[in-house]
């Protein structure tokens, strides 16, 4: 089944024309409604009239997370607050979150994009879909939920955590599909095996994303749970889950290209690279009203193909994501930048900015330990004082990162110094 055949199967020429038309409109829209963009375009010597179609795309300046930080919280919104019906947020590179806003039409389009991807994964209104992504400022829960309702399926909004309840719902309600991070599905798989629940499950599909995973991990999940596992990609800045997803042939993630225009660039030269060559994914929103973004650098590394897929869809496909070109970590589905740790530590004054993040995966769940060097002035031999300080640091870091790290204090000048780039992160996770 294809949710929107007219859009997902149009000829490449038709798609090119549609994207060109929408690009011209979106550029004029941001120019006239977002002061920051107007100034940015003026500084680059560009007027909306200079952009006549896709061939002029590369004349436009890039947008990065820094632009969102500089305009925090809502400086890139293109409509008054009265037209914003929903806010989501994700981690910024320092203390400040990245805030995004949606109009009613944005939510409608988002829901359709997720509906297309669920349909690609063979889900229909006959399915019962458990949504085990977090509901809240994170886009995963509500994004998947609206898509599930859009196709008329039965949504079960369990959100994250409470594995016992998750498993009870799955068994008792005859859940046929689950949306969650691949690492959480791996964790659930172990619990299912341990408790011998597989015969009680009706699960047949999963839709996993929000973090990098491998083809090997997909195969393992499929074999151990007797399901088909699908990849879903998205990011808050562009929309949330549903920017792209893979069909039953698993030959790359189909981009909802009539709404999000993809480019792959070399992160070094910023030039467009050829189909099949790995580079950084850049998106221009084509129909966004709340927070339209022009040439947004996702920092995600992948390659693209424009060949028609066996499933009949003609939309461009992205290869499985290969990592990122910046230092963002995804820990239990939460985006974490080392710079957030640094900012939080420096704000406290009692610690130095010397820290080491150790990320691991134990029983399929991510763990984060942060070793922190205490400032000489505040270092004490009193165990109670050190315990209090540890608790305080852990609390502040949890507030900043939105996940609970294990904090270990180390004596001044014990973390290894480096002559070049400081090593701030040791990621011991193996993706399989």
Interface residue list for ligand DLL (CB under 6 A): 90, 133, 138-140, 209-212, 231-236, 240-241, 298, 300, 321, 324, 330, 335
Cβ-based neighbour number of residue 284 at 10 Å: 26
Which residue number, 188 or 235, has a Cβ lying nearer to ligand DLL?
235
Which residue number, 77 or 233, has a Cβ lying nearer to ligand DLL?
233
Closest distance of CB 244 from ligand DLL, Å? 8
With CB atoms as reference, the residue minimizing the distance to ligand DLL is 209
Half-sphere exposure of 294 (CA within 13 A, CB side): 28
Closest distance of CB 277 from ligand DLL, Å? 18
d(CA 328, CA 331): 10
Which residue number, 169 or 185, has a Cβ lying nearer to ligand DLL?
185
Which residue number, 31 or 213, has a Cβ lying nearer to ligand DLL?
213
Closest distance of CB 103 from ligand DLL, Å? 19
Closest distance of CB 132 from ligand DLL, Å? 10
Closest distance of CB 259 from ligand DLL, Å? 15
The pairing of strands 177-180 and 128-131 is parallel
Q: Which residues pair with 245 in a beta bridge?
A: 232, 254
> What does the DSSP assignment read for 328-353?
-EEETTEEE-HHHHHHHHHHHSSEEE
3-state secondary structure at position 358:
strand
d(CA 148, CA 145): 5
Which residue number, 143 or 372, has a Cβ lying nearer to ligand DLL?
143
Closest distance of CB 26 from ligand DLL, Å? 21
Q: Among 340, 338, 341, which residue's Cα sits nearest to residue 351?
A: 341
Which residue number, 3 or 283, has a Cβ lying nearer to ligand DLL?
283
Dihedral class, residue 23 (left if φ above 0, else alpha if ψ from -120 to 50, else beta): alpha
């Amino acid at each position: 089944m294809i949710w929107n055949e007219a859009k997902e199967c149009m000829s490449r020429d038709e798609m090119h024309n549609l994207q060109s038309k929408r690009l011209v409109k979106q550029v004029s829209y941001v120019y006239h409604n977002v002061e920051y963009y107007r100034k940015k375009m003026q500084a680059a010597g560009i007027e909306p009239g200079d952009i006549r179609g896709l061939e002029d795309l590369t004349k436009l300046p890039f947008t990065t997370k820094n632009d969102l930080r500089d305009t925090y919280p809502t400086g890139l919104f293109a409509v008054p607050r009265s037209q914003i019906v929903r806010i989501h947020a994700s981690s910024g590179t320092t203390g400040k979150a990245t805030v995004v806003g949606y109009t009613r039409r944005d939510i409608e389009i988002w829901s359709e994009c997720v509906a297309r991807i669920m349909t690609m994964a063979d889900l229909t209104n006959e399915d019962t879909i458990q949504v085990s992504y977090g509901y809240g400022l994170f886009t995963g829960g509500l994004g998947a939920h609206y898509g599930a309702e859009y196709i008329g399926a039965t949504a079960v909004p369990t959100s994250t955590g409470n594995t016992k309840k998750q498993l009870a719902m799955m068994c008792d309600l005859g859940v046929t599909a689950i949306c969650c991070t691949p690492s959480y599905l791996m964790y659930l798989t172990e619990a299912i095996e341990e408790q011998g629940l597989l015969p009680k499950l009706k699960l047949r599909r999963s839709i996993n994303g929000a973090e990098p995973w491998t083809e090997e991990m997909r195969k393992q999940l499929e074999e151990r749970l007797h399901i088909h596992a699908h990849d879903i990609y998205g990011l808050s800045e562009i929309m949330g889950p549903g920017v792209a997803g893979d069909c039953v042939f698993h030959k790359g993630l189909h981009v909802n290209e009539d709404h999000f225009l993809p480019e792959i660039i070399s992160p070094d030269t910023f030039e467009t690279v050829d189909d099949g060559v790995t580079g950084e994914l850049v998106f221009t929103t084509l129909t966004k009203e709340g927070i339209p973004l022009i040439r947004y650098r996702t920092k995600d590394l992948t390659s693209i193909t424009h060949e028609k897929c066996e499933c009949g869809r003609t939309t461009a496909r992205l290869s499985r994501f290969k990592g990122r070109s910046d230092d963002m970590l995804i820990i239990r589905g939460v985006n974490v930048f080392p710079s957030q740790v640094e900012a939080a530590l420096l704000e406290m004054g009692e610690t130095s900015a010397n820290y080491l993040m150790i990320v691991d995966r134990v029983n399929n769940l991510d763990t984060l330990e942060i070793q922190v060097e205490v400032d000489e002035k505040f270092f004490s031999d009193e165990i109670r004082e050190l315990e209090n300080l540890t608790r305080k640091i852990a609390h502040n870091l949890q507030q900043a990162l939105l996940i609970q790290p294990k904090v270990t204090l180390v004596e001044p000048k014990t973390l290894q110094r480096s002559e070049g780039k400081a090593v701030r992160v040791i990621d011991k996770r193996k993706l399989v």
